[in-house]
Structure 1
Amino acid sequence: MPTVKEILNIAAYAGNIILSNGAETYRAEETISLICKAYGMKSVDSFVTPTGIFISIDNGKNTSKTIVKRVTNRTHNLTKISKINNFSRQLQTELLDYQTAIKKLNQINYREDEYNLTLSTLLGSLGAATFVILVEANYINLIPAFLVSLSSQITIKKIGFLRRINFIPEIIAGLIAGFVSSLLYHFKIGDTLNVMVISGILPFVPGVSITNSIRDAINGDLISATSRGVEAILIAISLAIGVAISLGVFVQ
């Protein structure tokens, strides 16, 4: 049986993984609570924001521990969220020792993507290009929309350290989408400029952040709802800035 400190470490690690991969605040708190109670903790209090996790547990024997975890990197990986959900629920029927639990969490956290970079980029671009169908634009825009989305995604995946700077990738994505769309439109490859531009930035639109913001607001987590909402708005503004700059320069 893990010690109270080890139980706290397991719960904090799981909460960190699920939160940094796009989970809602309530889901992270629920996961932490499930793990701690599976190990017999009598009292579990957690406070989760998009940038930090605060947990305090008590085993009912005058032994309590508290931990604070800073969440710095945030992305979206629904597979990892699903696996952490399964991990927390499996503990209800089969408890793991500390080393085994940490090993499983490491496997989830550092797992390789099921799809390679090339395939995921191509499929993402293809999905973005179908925006042409949704708005009932001319089908000749499908190929240019695909090329615009592919260009912006490849650029963002290859910009190195700039990817770690907030909102810079979105500005660059907007620039590339606007530039490539303008270039194709100039050479008559596609006849609807706005559809091509939107297809190029569509993979970067913060849909998950907006959804999580609404879910957090409904659940009463107003701090998380506000911060996620502001983040989503800033991402959208960054995309718009990039597009505006490129179209302002290349479209007369």
Structure 2
Amino acid sequence: MNHPQDWYKTKEQAEGYQEFQKSYMGPSRFLCLQLAGRKIGTSPLRILDLGCGTGAAVPMLRELFPEAKITGVDIEPEMLDVAKRLYEDSNIEFLEGSSQKFPYEIGEFDFIFSFSSFRLWDNPVLCLKEIQKHLSANGLAYIADLRKDISSQIQSEALKKTSDFKSLVEEQIESAYTIDEVENLLDKADISDYLIYDQPFSVLFQNRAQQKRITEKLAEFTIDSDALNAKQNLHSMLYHLFIYPENHE
């Protein structure tokens, strides 16, 4: 198997990623940020999108937190080129860097978000330490990623409608961590103040008004009910890791 990061490296791949994220990752990213919005006590003023890719989270972050300054960091310059072209805003910046080598003097953030990239990090223990170090006193970090410890039935259902992306998704699942492995990495990073959810969104969102709004929003991503069902199965393949600042009360 190739390194799971290899498919992001060329200009053509970066452009193609836009369509992939819109079709398959967009709904999950939206749901993740809705979940984050419930966990954040006050509206963040500085947000870091770690592993931002082509900036797909920017419109969602802007809708949730309109006053925040957003910094996107990614290791792939081709992805950043697409992001800079799509989002020209004085309150948004994109910087080249990685989860284990933050750009120089990047500062602290009230909210650090990383979606579907944790499995790609070469040194996850160091990355986790860096994330906690760059949280403000009342900040929150949120990592959402694929989990490997899912049933074969859920995986099979989720892959039914991925068509041309099926082999890619299978490779990414193989590169992912189990929940136990994530907790082991947190222990090695000396991070004890965290919370992990491994339930599907149907469990995490119990409020009927929230469910109605989310269902309506998800419908914007597809008009194919079978594809929507497949994507909902894909949502069940995620875990949600929240990290609090050191000595958080």
Is the TM-score greater than 0.5? no
Q: Which is higher, the Rg of structure 1 or of structure 2? A: 1
Larger helix proportion of the pair: 1
TM-score relative to the length of structure 2: 0.27
What TM-score does the superposition give when structure 1 sets the normalisation length? 0.27
Q: Larger relative CO (CA 8 A, sep 6+): 1 or 2?
A: 2
